[in-house]
Structure 1
């Protein structure tokens, strides 16, 4: 059996995409998707990726998206992943430059363009930012702030749960030692992604993210960038338009007065291949 795949990346956050839009439907049976992701996300014994994207047909939108992570878990959605999936769908003529993508976190609007130099950009309507975290019993009504292991931690949901911590320089921060204590803290019933943020000025922040499911630092996290910009704006550290510098490149996050967010950034196709099993 041959399985076609495409490798894509958004600011260094990389994905293997499997197309399940054909009439035949499922390429990888649902009960095998978790193990498939663990196997082929491995960077030494597999293709290597931060997740496996599955694109499918949708009754509610122009395309459907599912994301399975290296630990085998399924994420609700992914900001960089949806840009990669949207690029693939546009290149395959599955969608127009404006489309809607169904995720487990809801249906999101996407607007895409190519520059005259061939650079791809997508702006995603990330929807309502949830400062009242239902998965944290103590959150009450409003944003959640807690002292954990000596850090002031803000919690917010931007499609997936995030913790945001403001700090000084990020250069020497050993986040792979610090973040797991917060990622697995008992207050976060679903676990959480952990973002460390340095505010450059009212219009820019630097960010490093430890991702749940990857269980390590990634080059970029779209929902984490959105979460960090949202908390920075809400606490008065920045304005409502924030240039977020991730290790893999910049993203632009815009927060509206009604606490909805838009994320703008690139995506690139890296290569395509065939898995023979």
Structure 2
């Protein structure tokens, strides 16, 4: 395909994304190398991932997500919040929406730059040693630490993501530490293969790990601070079953641009 391709850049708590309105199939066939080039921070636009907003029956839109390595990814929570803001700015939705993603349907509410996104229920939390393993739309490893400010998250996250248990399928590695008013979380993301400023499904997984670790039950909201900002995760916990899961935080427009192919 040749010609101009228009895009928008959004970020949610420092997780940044390239968004393309693909309702007219302007993106064409999926091209791993092209997506990887666009996400490259030195030779492209630069982003943690790329999303296509597409038409789908019975929903406002479909979210198709690609990791920075060019491969189609699993659910991205901050990406989901950003595509809701993108849909609002395109005039597709007003203040509420229901859309389809790779892990199923999601609902969301948006007010100014704040997006409240419904996430999938979680029915199982496993352990790997003292770490918690769960899937919040993407697979996550959550480890409690007490030196997160000084930790080499890239080195430790890379080692866990590439060990014998997780090398083939990959896993997102989250480190969490208690603070005075909540928790700090830092994440090494598969697909980006680096630490990112935020991870929405990771923050959600970390909040659930807090509830399991502290044997909490019922309805709760847990503040999660990431390097790029503040997120809030709420849910109802009954045993190992999490329902009414919400991911709340900012989603901001950065700039528009065009690519000549």
Instruction: Indicate whether the TM-score tops 0.5.
Output: yes
Q: Could you tell me which residue of structure 1 aligns to residue 9 of structure 2?
A: 7
**How is 1:101-116 mapped onto 2 (pairs within 5 angstroms)?**
101-114=99-112
Deviates more, 1:206-215 or 1:90-99: 90-99
Q: Could you tell me which residue of structure 2 aligns to residue 136 of structure 1?
A: none
**How is 1:1-277 mapped onto 2 (pairs within 5 angstroms)?**
1-21=3-23, 25-32=24-31, 34-114=32-112, 120-131=113-124, 143-147=125-129, 152-188=130-166, 190-201=169-180, 204-236=182-214, 240-258=220-238, 259-260=242-243, 261-277=245-261
Task: Please list the CA deviations of residues 75-131 of structure 1 after superposition, one character each: whole Å capped at 9, or x if unmatched.
Answer: 1211110111100101111013111121001110111112xxxxx111011120242
Which residues of structure 1 form unaligned runs of 5+? 115-119, 132-142
SS in 2 for 1:257: strand
Aligned residue pair count: 252
SS in 2 for 1:182: helix
1:186 deviates by 3.0
1:157 deviates by 0.4
1:266 deviates by 0.6
C-alpha separation between the residues in 2 aligned to 1:65 and 1:27? 15
Which portions of structure 1, spanning 4 or more consecutive aligned residues, are displaced by more than 3 angstroms?
Answer: none
C-alpha separation between the residues in 1 aligned to 2:28 and 2:65? 14
1:3 deviates by 0.4
Which residues of structure 2 form unaligned runs of 5+? none
SS in 1 for 2:75: coil
1:225 deviates by 0.2
Deviates more, 1:188-197 or 1:213-222: 188-197
C-alpha separation between the residues in 1 aligned to 2:126 and 2:54? 36
1:191 deviates by 1.2
Contact 1:199 1:237 in 2 (8 A): no
TM-score, reference length from structure 2 = 0.92
C-alpha separation between the residues in 2 aligned to 1:5 and 1:238? 43
SS in 2 for 1:127: coil
TM-score, reference length from structure 1 = 0.87
